[in-house]
Amino acid sequence: MNESVKSDNTNGRLTAEGAVLAAMKALGGEATIAEVAQWIIDNNFGAWKDIGTTMSDLAGTASSSGYPMERQVLVRVANGRYRLRDGEPAELAATAKAGISRKAFIEAQGATCRNWTWSWSFINESRRMIIFGAWDMHTAGNRSLILDEAWATKPAGKRSPAYPQSREHVRLIEEEGYVLYTFPMKHSSELRNAEGIGPAKIAGFTPELTRRSLVRASSKWYASDDEGSSRMAEQIDSTESFREGATVQVTVNGYERNPKARRACIAHYGAVCQICLFDFAKFYGPMGRGVIHVHHRTQLASRDGEYEVDPIRDLIPVCPNCHAMIHLTREPLEPEALTALIAEQREAKA
């Protein structure tokens, strides 16, 4: 480990502590140095020399590690393993992130830019990384708008100095295999006037990188999680009629859907409707990649409490149209019944 980084680079050390905490929680709260080191490499934080500390530093004494006692978040247990110290992990993570600037966070990833004041994106040439901030105001579902051709000029008509750099960074992802990462940013409009003209202000950000896929739709580029953001809630059974324009309060039960089960279902069947075979990616191109609904064969509302989901037996990928048809009846149609109905209609038209 680089001793100068350990002793002098406070911001790098804060980021390092966050990386170790993320690794420990991902590995179940207990791990060896080797396991955490591999997780950090696999998740593109770099290596120990890049992040500026080791687990043993975070579990050592104040005199040996240089860390104040309240910043030591690990304790060594049997067989060379470490675990989180007693306390709320979220509070430890908040301590690790406190005080870090956006510039320090980006530099801790080995990335840079042309100008720290106006740059929207950052690059690490050696690791072939491109980093964009993902504004909360431009994030919906699993996708974040990171670049728009309309941003080439400011509202007042002047050219934006940041746009050419970010457009080049996008090109590197599209054409030269650079990998896209984002970190969440909170937007503030306090520097804009009544007409909405003025610079955006970063009200806050989360110093955590997430690997994303780049999706282009016409003149816009999105960072995507590639899981599909389109979900459909269970239909509300009701015989009550509603008039348009009336204000109506509807109370419904919420049922938790396990994202891991959803991913396992799609991994098995593919992101293709298993009833009509509609494929969003083939029809819409990259914008449709991974978009699909996942239908519970047994309504969650009919279950009594939690149950263990079998992603292959209990779930099935369906398009929104077929999903709507399934729930059109009070007792939802079986997917196989709807498949047979579609076949009958096609045969009748042949």
pLDDT at position 66: 53
pLDDT at position 300: 55
How many Å separate Cα 171 from the centre of its chain? 22
pLDDT at position 134: 93
Listed as ranges, residues in the chain with pLDDT below 50 are: 1-14, 63, 88-96, 227-256
Which pairing describes strands 74-76 and 121-124: parallel, antiparallel, or unpaired?
unpaired
Q: Which is nearest to 294 in space by CA: 316, 267, 320, 325?
A: 316
pLDDT at position 307: 59
Query: pLDDT digit string (tens) for 199-240?
Result: 667 778 888 888 899 988 778 898 988 644 433 333 333 334
Provide the token pair at 142. 């699993």
pLDDT at position 190: 66
Q: Which residue has the tokens 């290596």?
A: 47
* CB distance 200 to 188 below 8 Å: yes
pLDDT at position 279: 94
What's the rounded Cα separation, in Å, for the pair 280 and 294?
14
Question: Cα dist. 293→231, 253, 308, 320 in Å?
Answer: 6, 19, 20, 6
Q: Which is nearest to 58 in space by CA: 25, 20, 93?
A: 20
- For CA atoms 330, 336, 342, 345, the dihedral sign is negative
pLDDT at position 256: 40
What's the rounded Cα separation, in Å, for the pair 304 and 96?
41
pLDDT at position 103: 87
pLDDT at position 166: 97
Q: What amino acid is encoded at 30 in this protein?
A: E
What's the rounded Cα separation, in Å, for the pair 116 and 95?
25
Distance in Å from the first CA to the final CA of the chain: 71
Q: Which is nearest to 318 in space by CA: 254, 232, 258?
A: 232
What's the rounded Cα separation, in Å, for the pair 145 and 136?
10
